[in-house]
Chains A and B, each alone.
Chain A
């Protein structure tokens, strides 16, 4: 964190960002356990370690902005303001879930929050974000389409086609690459001839910056700067958030491709630990504050689990609903 950023940090803001990350962390830790209890099924991709990206970016993005995400999107959804109840109920496959139990962990949606999912095809969200941005531009609105994706997606044609199109048409897209160094078991340098993702973006003539994705203030500042330019007609931008996932790729990953020491080293740089110690050393937060935030986050997750447990199932007779548009009351 730069000294300039530190100087301007208020207690309130610091605690707000910490709270946002703790909510995600508690949620994910609970999901991990619920998977073991077979309450959550299917594929489950946890966000532990990457919380600063969602928390920092959502601080800046406005309700009118459109969000597109991946299968590792619980953090984005929660930070966006989709209630934990709805997200947890979706993971349970309940009617009260944000996708009425049809999507599950990889397919969270909330149209009212302009949260366009949960896409489980790597790079599948990027072209959609380009289109959402086109809709903004052609309707003379000022919203931005923010698209989260992993660095693995950068190898796909859809990444390159999307960046080119967005740049060619000067569309208001913010590409948010969460570079956690591994695409499943494939390390970045084993998959990319050019490992600097910003270089690729610049090749499409868009501004691109690498950001310490473990530093929530740095994320927030970078997103603020990029969004401001985009909103003012500057065309698309890419931010490469350098981060790390603490847990396995999904629940079926024996992690043969990395060693414990590497994970431990990154955990020491984790976004929650580092923010906590910074706020404390700046005298902006006490251990009591931290404990309170953690307690509150856990209580919110407990309530979400209770909500999901007690929610009804979608009736099987409704299986074939929503294949085509119907007006949802």
Chain B
């Protein structure tokens, strides 16, 4: 990570940031390899790994058959055997075919073996809706995975995190799932000059504010930021928090922010029932109930398999307008003006 360019004007897409992270990891450690469907010849289904096969060869950029359970499980085994695999599951939707391996092996082996084993595998998955791909290709299951003890769930939302979280994940002795929202791949931004590493422990305040905390992650972060801009014009200053890591949750940062703003809206692309938003809400209620000026609100995906038609999909997903409306309901509940 030391050779990260200090040039203050490096503009890069999220996709390129992930690719650079992969390149660094492959260059820096001969035990690291990438495997998954169409990561090599095809260049990655979202073009993330384009060019890596040419640079690193087929031993380290391994195209797999359509066999999610087998190659994710093989990643787990390879990690046990001393390698540092990066397994790409094309999208979280297909990870359901590997769920047994992830939940019953990756997540349990350390504890179940009484601490003898550890599984330093990194699994990258594209996630999310918003591209009219229909129900089977639009799941946001990262909150679901965050239910599982033994896994670390990381969601890079910014260019910096896209560029640097992978190294942190590879440095972890535990299985880490990295969720890349497919809507973010084309996003452009600047790398923070001089930033050489990030952690896998802390949430980040992406916009400071005083009146309400918007808790978000992934693509929802940008919806929250857009909503915050709109609210600011009305004189409501929202603090926008990027969870970054869904498990283990950085409770301290969430609670500190809510103690300050006394109101919270959780924005989560998962379905509402049993969601990550439900978990965050509960933590706030458990720890800051008496400091709240209003009930906690949630903006989640409607409880439907995400539909294809654009107007229906838009209506199903969290949006800046729905976030603003949720904040209005809280401010109404908490303020007399």
Contacts and interface: CB of A to CB of B under 8 A. Distances in A.
Contacts of B37: 184, 186
Interface in A153-171: 153, 155-158
Contacts of A253: 42
User: Which one of B70, B134, B316 has the greatest number of beta carbons of chain A within 10 Å?
Assistant: B134
Contacts of A153: 66
A186 B65 CA distance: 8
Given A257-B41, A257-B42, A191 B66 contact: yes
Contacts of A155: 65-67
User: Which one of B67, B70, B131, B305 has the greatest number of beta carbons of chain A within 10 Å?
Assistant: B67
A131 interface: no
Contacts of B309: 93-94, 101-102, 104, 313-314
Contact of A254 (B43, B93, B302, B310): B43
Interface residues of B, number: 37
Interface in B275-315: 302-305, 307-312, 315
A19 B141 CA distance: 44
A325 B68 CA distance: 31
Nearest to A183: B66
A104 B138 CA distance: 13
Nearest to A193: B65
Interface stretch (A116-124, A262-270, A271-279): A116-124
B329 interface: no
A252 B47 CA distance: 10
B311 A185 contact: no
* Size category of the binding interface on chain A: 35 or more
A49 to B, nearest CB: 19
A155 B97 CA distance: 12
A259 interface: no
A104 B308 contact: yes
Given A121-B136, A156-B97, A323 B305 contact: yes
A42 B134 contact: yes
Interface in A138-162: 152-153, 155-158
B38 interface: yes
Given A257-B41, A314-B312, A320-B302, A192 B307 contact: no
B132 A41 contact: yes
A256 interface: yes
A190 B40 CA distance: 11
Nearest to A317: B315
A226 to B, nearest CB: 25
B57 to A, nearest CB: 15
Contacts of A124: 136
Interface in A304-320: 313-314, 316, 319-320
Nearest to B45: A184
Given A155-B65, A186-B41, A186-B42, A319 B307 contact: yes
Contacts of B20: none
A268 B65 CA distance: 29
A103 interface: yes
21 contacts: A41-B131, A41-B308, A42-B131, A42-B133, A42-B134, A43-B133, A43-B137, A104-B134, A120-B136, A123-B66, A124-B136, A152-B65, A152-B66, A183-B65, A184-B42, A184-B45, A185-B41, A254-B43, A257-B41, A314-B312, A316-B311
Closest 6 CB pairs of A and B: A185-B42, A93-B309, A104-B308, A155-B65, A191-B65, A42-B132
